[in-house]
Chain A
Amino acid sequence: MGLVLVSHSEQLVAGLGAIVAQFGGSEVPVALAGGTEDGRIGTTAPRIEAAIRSVLEGGAEGAVVLLDFGSALLSLEVALEMLEPEIRARVRVSDAPLVEGAFLAGVQASTGATLDEVAEAARGWQSLPKVPEA
């Protein structure tokens, strides 16, 4: 299974992709959709659509999409509408926080888990306080 990382910033997803490769291993397919076509901060549907297609066409059975905030979701929804139903069926959108979710999903994907297991792993952080003593 592969991951698609969506953020307003191209640099942010580049760094996050490196984290996933480090912890999950380079065998986990990761596609990045950060920033706009002209290098600005933002998200665009065509970039997200291309990232999803690249992961699935690269051989991954499915893809979990993790995103940051605000308009990322709107762009993602438009991107998903561009996908053929059989392609769309192989995509799960994660509600997880982008960084933590990508880390958890990346490690889970590296174990050969199913699409739903990877998506479920990403959600895990919602039940874990970052600062347990707080």
Chain B
Amino acid sequence: MAELHLTVLDPAGLHARPAAKVVKVASRFESRIVLRSGNRAVDVKSLIAVLGLTIRPMSEITLTAEGPDADVALAALVDELGAAVTQSSDGSAVALAPDGATVQP
């Protein structure tokens, strides 16, 4: 099992564009990947479920992957966000950059 803790800094929250990216990347992997926000948890491969969380800016979220490619899957999710992502010194915190445009491929 692999786990990542993130803080969403994007002023629009985890809105449609990044949500769609996360779903697309997650769908390439076999592992079950769960996104938790507050006391709610959803399958990150379901766009409607991710959007349904209405994740606001500065929300703390957790990504948990379970399966044969769990580590690679979470790495790919961070990778997809590219330069927009920074990791804290303990390796557990990841932030989405406020500039949504920088997560463009």
Contact = CB atoms under 8 A, between A and B. Distances in A.
A107 B47 contact: yes
A28 B16 CA distance: 18
B24 A110 contact: yes
B48 A111 contact: no
A15 interface: no
Contacts of A111: 23-24, 27-28, 45
Interface in B5-51: 16-17, 20, 23-24, 27-28, 45-49, 51
B47 A104 contact: yes
Contacts of B45: 111
A125 B24 contact: no
Contacts of B92: none
A121 B48 contact: yes
A58 interface: no
Given A23-B16, A107-B23, A108-B47, 18 more contacts: A22-B17, A25-B24, A103-B16, A104-B47, A107-B20, A107-B47, A110-B24, A111-B27, A111-B45, A112-B27, A113-B27, A121-B48, A124-B47, A124-B48, A124-B49, A128-B48, A128-B51, A132-B54
Interface of B: 16-17, 20, 23-24, 27-28, 45-49, 51-52, 54
